[in-house]
């Protein structure tokens, strides 16, 4: 396996060169919306090393963070999708990539008539540490002794806490295009935790990356060329989804999956996957007598909070789960049943979300509910004929 230092050095070297001259081996053909490419200068378009297009899943007004922004193409597309009310931040660790992106940002801003993109230097597995800020603080002083090293450690901790590169709970959408695989395997858990930290509650990650259909063996992981070429660091398809789950995300789904592999190495297929994952299932559970019915088509489903819901049955859920299911991507799969008498949130009792419980219709209607209605005259002339 690549050590953290070897993997990162190989990646930085390769992408420093790839910022200065396009490298064909790193390109994976992607159909971007041509409308958004018109304002982007050729030097950015020619150094496109993406494998998907997460910008298709953005909305006007959003604050977007692009991890491993390279020369900035996804940021410059995102800037147009989110519009002047939105904001885009690109983070990359390679100075040559940042130079191209920063040089072109004002040019594109002029063409659009607004400036809503900025680029920051950092490692995406540590989005708290601002590397430009650290450089200024060090002022060129070398770390030449153990004492210097300890001082450096407390300086980085202090800067990360006081002036984080990206603050916690500050971003609507984290996007990334063909970068997560480049982070050393030992750092990947931290990477997903950082994505989770910077997203606000209700925010989402939309990540395009290269994944493999089988685990990548150690001898391929040791090859720096294959590592920096977005091959050896790829997670397996299910491992990629599990990494989001382990970090606390919910509603994780595949938005796009390349049918034909981008590359095959020793029989292992590598292809692009775009995944969406949501933040916001944590928090208190309150009983407001709400119920949901899973409509199918599957016999049963299990959500990321452990609720097992059988098709057609009426389940008691807490106010938080009710709210989550009412939003995309869950909404089309459920019917929602409000109690006849609303329980205000301030008056709600705690709800035990660790179990899945059915909700008797009487709980929703009230024990005293005793109404009898007349038949609705749906078969009368002028009606739609169905009862």
Q: What residues make contact with ligand SAM under the rule CB under 6 A?
A: 11, 15, 26, 48-50, 68-70, 73-74, 92-94, 97, 123-125, 177-179, 182-183, 230
Q: How far is the CB of 74 from ligand SAM (least distance, A)?
A: 5
Find where tokens 């297929």 sit. 269
Tokens of 46: 């020619």
Q: Which is nearer to ligand SAM, 81 or 182 (CB)?
A: 182
**Which CB, 22 or 343, lies closer to ligand SAM?**
22
The least distance separating ligand SAM from the CB of residue 97, rounded to whole angstroms, comes to 4
Nearer to ligand SAM, 23 or 305 (CB): 23
Between residues 82 and 179, which has the closer beta carbon with respect to ligand SAM?
Answer: 179
Q: What is the DSSP code (8-state) at residue 166?
A: S
Task: Specify the residue, 15 or 244, whose C-beta has the smaller distance to ligand SAM.
Answer: 15
Angle at 104 between CA 103 and CA 108, to 5 degrees: 145
121 or 359: CB nearest ligand SAM: 121
Q: Are 47 and 14 in contact (CB under 8 A)?
A: no
CB 100, min distance to ligand SAM, A:
10
Interatomic CA distance for residues 258 and 241, integer angstroms:
16
Task: Name the β-bridge partners of 278.
Answer: 204, 250
Residues 6+ positions from 173 with CB-CB distance below 8 Å: 57, 58, 62, 63, 64, 65, 199, 203, 204, 205, 206
Phi, psi of 12, rounded to the nearest 5 degrees:
-65, -45
Nearest distance from C-beta of residue 36 to ligand SAM, angstroms: 13
Residue 336 to residues 312, 314, 319, 330, Cα–Cα distance (Å): 12, 9, 12, 12
- Whichever of 123 and 197 has its CB closer to ligand SAM, that residue is 123
Instruction: Measure the CA–CA gap between 247 and 345, rounded to whole angstroms.
Output: 29
By the 8 A CB rule, do 55 and 83 touch? no
Answer yes or no: are the C-beta atoms of 293 and 337 closer than 8 Å.
yes
């Amino acid at each position: 396996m690549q050590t953290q230092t070897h993997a990162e050095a190989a990646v930085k070297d390769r992408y420093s060169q790839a910022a200065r001259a396009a490298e064909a081996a790193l390109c994976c053909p992607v159909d971007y919306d041509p409308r958004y490419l018109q304002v982007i200068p050729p030097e950015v378009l020619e150094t496109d090393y993406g494998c998907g297009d997460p910008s298709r899943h953005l909305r006007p007004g959003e604050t977007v963070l692009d991890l491993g922004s390279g020369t900035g193409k996804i940021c410059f597309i995102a800037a147009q999708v989110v519009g002047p009310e939105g904001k885009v931040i690109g983070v990359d660790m390679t100075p040559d990539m940042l130079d191209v992106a920063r040089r072109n940002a004002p040019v594109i801003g002029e063409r659009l008539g607004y400036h809503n993109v900025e680029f920051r230097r950092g490692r995406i597995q540590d989005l708290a540490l601002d590397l430009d800020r650290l450089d200024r603080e060090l002022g060129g002083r070398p770390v030449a002794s153990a004492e210097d090293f300890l001082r450096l450690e407390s300086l980085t901790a202090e800067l990360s806490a006081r002036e984080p590169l990206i603050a916690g709970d500050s971003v609507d959408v984290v996007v990334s295009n063909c970068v997560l695989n480049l982070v050393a395997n030992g750092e990947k858990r931290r990477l997903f935790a950082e994505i989770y930290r910077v997203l606000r509650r209700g925010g989402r990650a939309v990540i395009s990356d290269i994944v493999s259909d089988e685990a990548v063996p150690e001898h391929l992981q040791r090859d720096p060329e294959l590592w920096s070429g977005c091959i050896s660091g790829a997670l397996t398809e299910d491992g990629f989804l599990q990494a989001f789950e382990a970090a606390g995300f919910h509603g994780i789904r595949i938005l796009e999956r390349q049918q034909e592999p981008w590359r095959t190495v020793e029989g292992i297929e590598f292809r692009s996957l775009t995944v969406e994952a949501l933040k916001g299932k944590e928090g208190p559970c309150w009983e407001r007598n709400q119920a949901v019915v899973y409509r199918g088509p599957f016999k049963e489903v299990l959500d990321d909070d452990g609720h097992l819901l059988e098709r057609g049955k009426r389940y008691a859920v807490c106010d938080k789960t009710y709210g989550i299911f009412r939003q995309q991507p869950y909404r089309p799969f459920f019917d929602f049943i409000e109690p006849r008498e609303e329980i205000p949130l301030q008056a709600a009792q705690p709800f035990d979300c660790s179990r899945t419980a059915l909700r008797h219709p009487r709980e929703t209607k009230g024990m005293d509910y005793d109404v009898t209605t007349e038949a609705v005259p749906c078969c009368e002339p002028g009606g739609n004929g169905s009862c």
